[in-house]
């Protein structure tokens, strides 16, 4: 399996690949800019080249960017939607500059306007970003279903992709904590197989391009998004055993976003690799 973690870009994005190597990662996820601010200084060509060179030299097998937490392309507020759409495009441009093939984004929240209209707005923003970039694929992340957040159902994710034209550059990132909180039982092998069958039918396994590996502080079906370190939450180690041994996803990057960051990643990676044996 291609296992890794979300790593720091402190000191420069070009340092991220080595940060991942130092933690024992096979793959990394990064922020390409401050994830809690709208404005960001453009990436200099030299900075982007330094990252590309460092990544090639690292031996890592996968890399993705996590989009800003501020983006809500499902918003009914025209000003916020436009700001979110433009921020999504900026993130996609940065991926193209850095040579990073995958941009993970939260689908968005309808904020009381209803899911159907929000999904159309999200699809419009995706289409805009794809039409103005070259090669990056945008991954819609599965969500826990907290509040008016979309993406807790596979059907919602599939509908957004369809509304965006079933573009091959739109895929999915499945988050284990979010899946469990949304009601997808990953713990029992038979239940896990049922989840994968549903994903195959509704999303297509080829479109699942990344995983976020997080235990859950909250129980099955809670619709509350709270990450926990591997084996220390309600999923427990058994909630990861089937996935770690599923060869259908052996080429898909899987990255940790667990608490304690670097302090906990090395332990979590050891736990996951043990489960894969």
Clarify whether 227 is annotated catalytic.
Answer: yes
Clarify whether 141 is annotated catalytic.
Answer: yes
The C-alpha atoms of residue 137 and residue 171 are separated, in whole angstroms, by: 7
The C-alpha atoms of residue 243 and residue 210 are separated, in whole angstroms, by: 13
Identified catalytic residue from 227, 241, 265, 268: 227
Clarify whether 55 is annotated catalytic.
Answer: no
Clarify whether 36 is annotated catalytic.
Answer: yes
Identified catalytic residue from 53, 56, 69, 77: 69
The C-alpha atoms of residue 269 and residue 53 are separated, in whole angstroms, by: 26
Identified catalytic residue from 175, 215, 232, 268: 175
The C-alpha atoms of residue 125 and residue 122 are separated, in whole angstroms, by: 5
Clarify whether 175 is annotated catalytic.
Answer: yes
Identified catalytic residue from 212, 215, 228, 268: 212
Sequence-distant (6+) residues with CB within 8 A of 234 are 180, 215, 216, 217, 218, 219, 220, 228
Residues paired with residue 64 on neighbouring β-strands, in sequence order: 29, 102
Identified catalytic residue from 91, 156, 215, 225: 225
Identified catalytic residue from 167, 257, 266, 273: 257
Identified catalytic residue from 106, 110, 121, 241: 106
Clarify whether 193 is annotated catalytic.
Answer: no
Clarify whether 53 is annotated catalytic.
Answer: no
Identified catalytic residue from 14, 26, 55, 66: 66
Clarify whether 257 is annotated catalytic.
Answer: yes
DSSP-derived pairing of the beta strands 215-216 and 137-141: unpaired
Identified catalytic residue from 141, 215, 228, 268: 141
Sequence-distant (6+) residues with CB within 8 A of 44 are none
What DSSP character marks residue 153?
Answer: S
Contact 127, 166 (CB under 8 A): no
Identified catalytic residue from 110, 161, 169, 178: 178
Q: Where in the sequence numbering do the catalytic residues fall? A: 36, 66, 69, 106, 141, 175, 178, 212, 225, 227, 257
């Amino acid at each position: 399996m291609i296992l890794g973690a979300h790593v720091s870009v402190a000191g420069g994005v070009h340092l991220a690949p080595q940060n991942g190597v130092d933690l024992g990662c096979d793959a990394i996820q990064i922020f390409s800019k401050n994830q809690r601010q709208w404005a960001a200084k453009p990436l200099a060509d030299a900075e982007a080249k330094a990252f590309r060179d460092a990544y090639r030299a690292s031996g890592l097998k996968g890399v993705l960017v996590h989009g800003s937490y501020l983006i809500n392309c499902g918003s009914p507020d025209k000003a916020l939607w436009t700001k979110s759409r433009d921020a999504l495009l900026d993130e996609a441009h940065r991926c193209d500059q850095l040579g990073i093939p995958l941009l993970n984004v939260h689908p968005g929240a309808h904020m009381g306007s209803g899911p159907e209209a929000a999904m159309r707005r999200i699809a419009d923003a995706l289409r805009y970003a794809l039409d103005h970039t070259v090669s990056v694929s945008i991954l819609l992340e599965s969500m826990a279903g907290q509040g008016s957040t979309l993406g807790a159902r596979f059907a919602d994710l599939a509908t957004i992709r369809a509304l965006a034209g079933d573009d091959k550059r739109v895929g999915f990132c499945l988050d284990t904590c979010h899946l469990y909180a949304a009601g997808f039982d990953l713990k029992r092998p038979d239940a896990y197989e049922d989840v994968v069958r549903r994903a195959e039918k509704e999303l297509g396994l080829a479109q699942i391009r990344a995983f976020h590996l997080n235990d859950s502080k909250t129980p099955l079906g809670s619709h509350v998004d709270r990450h926990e370190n591997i084996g220390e939450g309600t999923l427990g180690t058994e909630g990861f055993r089937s996935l770690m041994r599923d060869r259908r996803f052996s080429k898909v990057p899987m990255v940790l976003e667990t608490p304690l960051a670097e302090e906990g990643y090395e332990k979590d990676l050891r736990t996951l690799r043990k489960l894969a044996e």
